[in-house]
Amino acid sequence: MNVSDSGVGKVDAPDSSTATIARTVGQILDDAPTSRFHHRAVLISGMGFFTDAYDLFVIGTVAALVQTQWSLSTTETSWVTGSAVLGAFLGAMVFGRIADKVGRKSVYTAVAVIMVIGAIVSSLAPNVIVLVLARFVLGLGIGGDYPVSAVLMSEYANRADRGRLVGLVFSMQAVGLIVGPLVGLALQSSGLSENLTWRLLLGLGSIPAAAVIYLRARMPESPRFQAHVRRESERAAAELHQFAHGAVDATAVVANTTTLMSPRQFFANRRMWVLVIGTAGSWFLFDYAYYGNTLSLPSILLEVSPNATIKVKLLLSLAMFVVFALPGYALAVTKIDRIGHRKLQSIGFSVMAACFLLLAAVPRFTTMVVPFVLIFGFSYLFTEFGPNTTTFVLPSEVFPVEMRTTGHGIAAGIGKLGAFVGVFMVPRLQASIGLRGLLVVAGLSAIAGLVTTAILPEPAHTSLEDSATGPS
């Protein structure tokens, strides 16, 4: 049996000397070459992460504007900044479990609708309470998108390119990181009122999610989920046949015969707990440092450069994203499968820790813009070329298919809980222990992330089914 490049997979007709060998849907997908179908799936899934990055990172600018307009306290401003992150914590947990119960496809579309609603209502908020609640709803959709988009892409992918394909979905976040500050700069320079500026910033976040609702509704259900969980191998093969333009022969597919794991068995299984601690722990520690520092970047830059305007801080943020973060995403996508998914996460945590502790150790680095931006920016390079990508990829590979979005949802949800803690703690830590103390805490978080990474298996180049069925 050979695999063609015309779609998800192809079985050549047997000749007189070769018999067709029946394989499972998972085996066909593992050996299928990367095709236009995969790249289409990357784009459709990735638009959710463009929305995620855009919405979560423009809120720093929005919060600065509404704090002045509505005379908000520090706590109220933190709720404006952090409510979407808290929503993402709950959304990842809830929708991750639902996707393992009813399938990936229906949740895949529903979370995009929720993101559109949350963004539009946020832009129309008449007061801080409505804004916080609308941002929480937006976060539910963003959080739900994490496990579903990651797992669907992982389950569509072959074994050779799985890290790259799932990483490509997440790398759409890089575009949102750049577009957000660009839109902010354009609106700040347009002469519009601050009230209209922040409303447009939030409302524009609905466009990318709205653009893919129809496309998501037309994507096929995960063939691995259909074959393994629903026991519908022939139906899964038929859908592969349809979306691969007739390239998969349903008669060459055999059913999976493995025993499914119930939620009770999952939480009673020692290996599953190790995987949860490894994936969720790493994500929590990473997101604490990453979101806490990134969403508080305007106030951090204010301490480094007290006279900088909002426009200057946007330019500095944009420079760090373009010069450091964007190449980091590109390197992660191109090198992740070669280096190894767990190994790349360890490398990233190590460099992050070194950068944060170096900034903390040398007082002048936190009072001069150029050295601060260079070192902090270098940490951004290895943030993207490391745990920001890999904490998303690894949970989509190591859990069994019947609990895969549940496991990923737990990891993503706890990660977002770390982000929520960071959003609230970073401004307070900065006020109490200063920027250097804040950087020490971030460095120690990165070191702890390195420890939790060490307990995870290395799934690169391994069959998705084999990755999830290690020793019990």
Mean pLDDT within 264-285: 95
Is the model's pLDDT at 253 over the cut of 50?
Answer: yes
Alpha helices in 35-161, H assignment, sequence order = 36-70, 74-102, 104-123, 128-156
Handedness of CA 78, 80, 81, 85 (dihedral sign): positive
Would you say 380 and 325 are in contact if contact means Cβ atoms under 8 Å apart? yes
Question: Are residues 76 and 90 in contact, defined by beta-carbon separation less than 8 angstroms?
Answer: no
Q: Give residue-wise pLDDT tens across range 189-202.
A: 888 998 999 999 99
Q: Please determine, for residue 449, whether its predicted confidence score (pLDDT) is greater than 50.
A: yes
Q: Among residues 321, 318, 298, 389, which one has the least CA distance to residue 349?
A: 389
- Where is average pLDDT lowest: 53-57, 62-66, 76-80, 155-159? 53-57
Q: What is the pLDDT of residues 373-421, one digit of tens each?
A: 888 889 889 999 999 999 999 999 999 999 999 999 999 999 999 888 8
Query: Which CATH number belongs to the domain containing residue 289 in this structure?
Result: 1.20.1250.20
Q: One-letter amino acid identity for 323?
A: V
The contacts of residue 79 (CB under 8 Å, 6+ apart) are: 128, 132
Q: Is 219 helix (H, G, I), strand (E, B) or coil?
A: coil
Q: How far is CA 397 from CA 16, 39, 99, 173, 330, in A?
A: 39, 19, 16, 20, 21
Number of structural domains found in the chain: 1
Instruction: Decide: 287 and 419 in contact? Cβ < 8 Å.
Output: yes
- Please tell me the pTM assigned to this model: 0.86
pLDDT for 426: 72
DSSP reduced 3-state for 253: strand
The answer as to whether 125 is a domain residue is yes
Mean pLDDT, the chain, rounded, equals: 84
In this prediction, residues 438-458 reach a mean pLDDT of 92
% pLDDT > 90, the chain: 47
d(CA 301, CA 304): 5
Kindly report the CA angle at 53 between 122 and 178, in degrees rounded to 5?
115
Which two three-digit tokens encode residue 323?
């010069």
> Within a domain: residue 423?
yes
In degrees and rounded to multiples of 5, residue 62 shows phi and psi of: -60, -45
Q: State residue 23 phi and psi, 5-degree precision.
A: -135, 160
Query: Does residue 15 carry a pLDDT above 70?
Result: no
Domain membership flag for residue 233: no
Nearest one of 395, 389, 279, 287 to 336, comparing CA atoms: 389
Give the three-class secondary structure for 1: coil
The CB-based long-range contact list for 66-73 (8 Å cut-off, 24+ gap) reads 66/128, 66/131, 66/198, 68/194, 69/194, 69/195, 69/198, 70/127, 70/128, 72/128
Residue 144 burial (10 A CB sphere; 0-12, 13-18, 19+): buried
What's the CA gap between 161 and 434, in Å, rounded? 44
Asked, for residue 17, whether it belongs to a domain, the answer is no
Instruction: At 468, list the tokens.
Output: 């999830």
Q: Give which of 434, 441, 331, 338 is closest to 386, Cα–Cα.
A: 331
Question: In the predicted model, what is the mean pLDDT of residues 437-452?
Answer: 91
Which tokens hold the place of 122? 């946020």
Report the pLDDT value the prediction gives residue 472, as an integer from 0 to 100: 39
Q: Provide DSSP, 405-445.
A: HHHHHHHHHHHHHHHHHHHHHHHHHHHHHHHHHHHHHHHHH
Question: In this structure, is residue 12 part of a structural domain?
Answer: no
Q: Is residue 387 part of a domain?
A: yes
Q: What is the pLDDT of residue 428?
A: 76
Per-residue pLDDT tens over the stretch 59-94: 878 988 999 999 999 889 889 988 998 999 999 999
Using the 8-state DSSP alphabet, how is residue 23 labeled?
A: B
Which pLDDT score is estimated for 161? Answer: 93
For residue 130, tell me if it sits in a domain: yes
Share of the chain above pLDDT 70, in %: 85
**Residue 249 domain flag:** no
| Structure tokens, 15 | 């000749």
For residue 332, the enclosing domain spans 25-219+258-467
